[in-house]
């Protein structure tokens, strides 16, 4: 069985907002065409203030360029329209950075250049709308501002091709990849990553729009997934007047507690790695469960929970995960001899149950959240974050796991998240009683867990959140609890300004046995510009799922997709939200 793997930290997914909006967007009720001269060169000398420097201003003719896949570099999607590409820097300065000796791995602190980098693409035929494309991982790279929002990269029209002006940012620093935390030696760089860069880039981009088109945007949207989803929620909580519509995908809103949880999982997995299966830096987590073990986990969950609660269709999708009563010890055959892929050891089942229940302190207190048992658990979209990882520059053959810094170059826990910074942090030595407090100190800057969205709501803002039920990093149970708390804080319901969509089978932002291809942008625009709130999103399964082309409705929480009892199981038309 194949499951498409995507690293969602780099994908975007949509924002929403309000129909009556002189508030956030700053413009008339209906978007109007600008009167731009398509003079890209003039932007290079625009007077944007002494703190802003334009480093590139290039004219791109229509039908000459296509977006590129961020992982393969291959062209995807349709050709782009005529537009200007503007790149620049805000608040350039010299700061401090960690530097490691490639041989001894001894860490020192050195001088390093910093600036908040941005890329802004300005279509010749502007639709009057502004689209901020959120970042991913630890940022540190300037992703092309195409406005890709569909989890299936290139499967739907990007925002730039729809006429949006699109901006992206590197988060205030540059690194070897989005897993490079050497900027953590510099406090201002930490602040830029936490929240300041998205603030400064928004203000600068809107200034450029005003100067270039002669008007402010009629509507403004923020779109992001993973760290970009965290940024999206930061916007709704700390900068409520900036955007009319915000969509936060698989958001790391309770970021630092999730980091602690993942480090607890590192220790849980390390304990069951067979003897002798190690990397130069520690146990090889990829050996904790074989590919056959992982497939067995997913199939066992489906066998137990495919038809549970409101889910009345045996279709390989756990539509109602809250009704799933899966128990690894009881529902997966125990190994009585060698593990041949048809069973799990008691230790493997205990570890799976522990990870799903969430990490704990030595006294049993929860570090973060529990998780759903879902069809995508064990799939490549799940194991890529827990077990096998992907090649990255700092350690191309080792394991990637959020928080597993030295093993894959994701330097966050020691270099960025820990206060004070600990650049030689050992993930296998994680202390669940002491380290979480060091992370939570940074969480005071970077987390986005406030339920006070009264200013955003009062200005007419709309918030859409989505999360994969098989996301091994950021729990759907956690975001559901956040949404319920948000509703309680706003009179018992938040549906008039905020909606949550849980995606069965989907991993972190995309992938897994899921209908993860959806177009929230159209739905968001309808909510923002016609006042039509999204009760469901039409979603499609990708080519590497068990059922390519299958469609399903993604239902606004707490509803789930329920089969009507007749008709083709592959067609969303035969399902309703209940």
What's the token pair of residue 504?
């069965």
Instruction: Tell me if residue 226 is catalytic.
Output: yes
Contact (CB, 8 A) for 344 and 328? yes
Give dist(CA 55, CA 230) in Å, integer. Answer: 28
Backbone dihedral angles phi then psi of residue 405, each to the nearest 5 degrees: -60, -70
Q: Which of 3, 83, 490, 508 is catalytic?
A: 508
Question: Which are the contacts of 124, defined by CB distance < 8 A and separation ≥ 6?
Answer: 36, 38, 62, 81, 82, 83, 84
Q: Which of 139, 254, 471, 519 is catalytic?
A: 471
450 in catalytic set: no
Cβ atoms of 130 and 219 within 8 Å: the answer is yes
Asked whether the bond before 558 is cis by omega within 30 degrees of 0, the reply is: yes
Name the phi and psi angles at 268, rounded to 5.
-60, -45
Distance between CA atoms of residues 501 and 250, nearest Å: 10
To the query of whether residue 218 is one of the catalytic residues in this protein, the response is no
From 57, 168, 220, 226, active-site residue: 226
Among 381, 351, 374, 389, which Cα is nearest to 264's?
351
- H or E stretch at 248: strand 245-249
Peptide bond into 420 cis (omega under 30): yes
DSSP 71-126: TT--B-SSPPPSEEEEEEEEEEEEEEEEEE-TTT--EEEEEEEEEEEEEEEEESS-
For residue 448, report the phi and psi dihedrals to the nearest 5 degrees. Answer: -135, 55
Looking at the annotation, which residues are catalytic?
226, 471, 508
């Amino acid at each position: 069985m194949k499951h498409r793997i995507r690293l969602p930290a780099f994908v975007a997914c949509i924002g929403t907002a309000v129909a009556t909006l002189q508030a956030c967007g700053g413009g008339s009720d209906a978007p109007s065409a600008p009167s731009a001269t398509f003079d890209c060169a003039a932007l290079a000398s625009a007077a944007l203030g002494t703190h802003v420097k334009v480093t590139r201003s290039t004219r791109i003719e229509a039908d000459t360029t296509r977006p590129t896949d961020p992982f393969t570099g291959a062209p995807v999607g349709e050709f782009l329209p005529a537009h200007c590409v503007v790149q620049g820097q805000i608040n350039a300065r010299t700061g401090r950075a960690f530097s490691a000796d490639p041989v001894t791995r001894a860490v020192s602190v050195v001088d390093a250049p910093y600036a908040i980098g941005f890329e802004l693409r300005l279509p010749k035929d502007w639709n009057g709308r502004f689209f901020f494309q959120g970042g991913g991982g630890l940022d540190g790279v300037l992703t092309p501002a195409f406005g890709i929002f569909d989890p299936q990269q290139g499967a739907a029209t990007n925002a730039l091709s729809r006429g949006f002006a699109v901006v992206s940012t590197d988060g205030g620093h540059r690194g070897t990849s989005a897993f490079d935390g050497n900027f953590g030696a510099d406090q201002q760089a930490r602040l830029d990553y936490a929240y300041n860069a998205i603030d400064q880039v928004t203000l600068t981009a809107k200034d450029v729009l005003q100067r270039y088109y002669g008007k402010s945007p009629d509507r403004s949207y923020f779109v992001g997934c993973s760290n970009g989803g965290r940024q999206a929620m930061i916007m709704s909580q700390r900068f409520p007047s900036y955007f009319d519509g915000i969509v936060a995908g698989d958001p790391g809103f309770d970021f630092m507690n999730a980091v602690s949880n993942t480090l607890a999982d590192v220790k849980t997995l390390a304990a069951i790695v067979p003897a002798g299966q190690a990397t130069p830096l520690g146990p090889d987590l990829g050996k904790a469960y074989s590919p056959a073990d992982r497939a067995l986990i997913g199939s066992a969950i489906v066998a137990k929970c495919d038809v549970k609660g409101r889910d009345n269709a045996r279709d390989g999708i756990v539509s109602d995960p809250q009704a799933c009563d899966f128990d690894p010890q009881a529902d997966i055959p125990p190994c009585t001899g060698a593990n041949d892929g048809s069973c799990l050891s008691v230790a493997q089942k205990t570890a799976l149950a522990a990870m799903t229940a969430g990490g704990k302190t030595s006294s049993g207190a929860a570090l973060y959240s529990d998780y759903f048992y879902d069809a995508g658990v064990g799939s490549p979209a799940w194991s890529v974050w827990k077990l096998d990882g992907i090649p990255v520059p700092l350690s191309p053959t080792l394991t990637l796991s959020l928080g597993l810094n030295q093993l894959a170059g994701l330097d966050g826990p020691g270099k960025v998240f820990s206060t004070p910074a600990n650049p030689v942090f050992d993930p296998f030595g994680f202390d669940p009683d002491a380290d979480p407090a060091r992370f939570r100190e940074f969480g005071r800057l970077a987390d986005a867990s406030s339920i006070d969205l009264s200013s955003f709501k009062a200005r007419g803002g709309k918030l859409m959140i989505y999360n994969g039920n098989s996301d091994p990093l950021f729990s759907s149970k956690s975001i559901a609890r956040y949404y319920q708390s948000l509703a309680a804080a706003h009179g018992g319901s938040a549906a008039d300004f905020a909606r949550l969509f849980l995606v069965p089978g989907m991993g972190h932002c995309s992938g897994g046995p899921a209908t993860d291809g959806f177009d929230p942008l159209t739905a968001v625009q309808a909510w923002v510009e016609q006042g039509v709130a999204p009760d469901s999103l039409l979603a499609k399964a990708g080519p590497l799922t068990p059922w390519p082309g299958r469609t399903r409705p993604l239902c606004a929480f707490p509803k789930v997709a329920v089969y009507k009892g007749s008709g083709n199981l592959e067609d969303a038309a035969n399902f309703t939200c209940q």
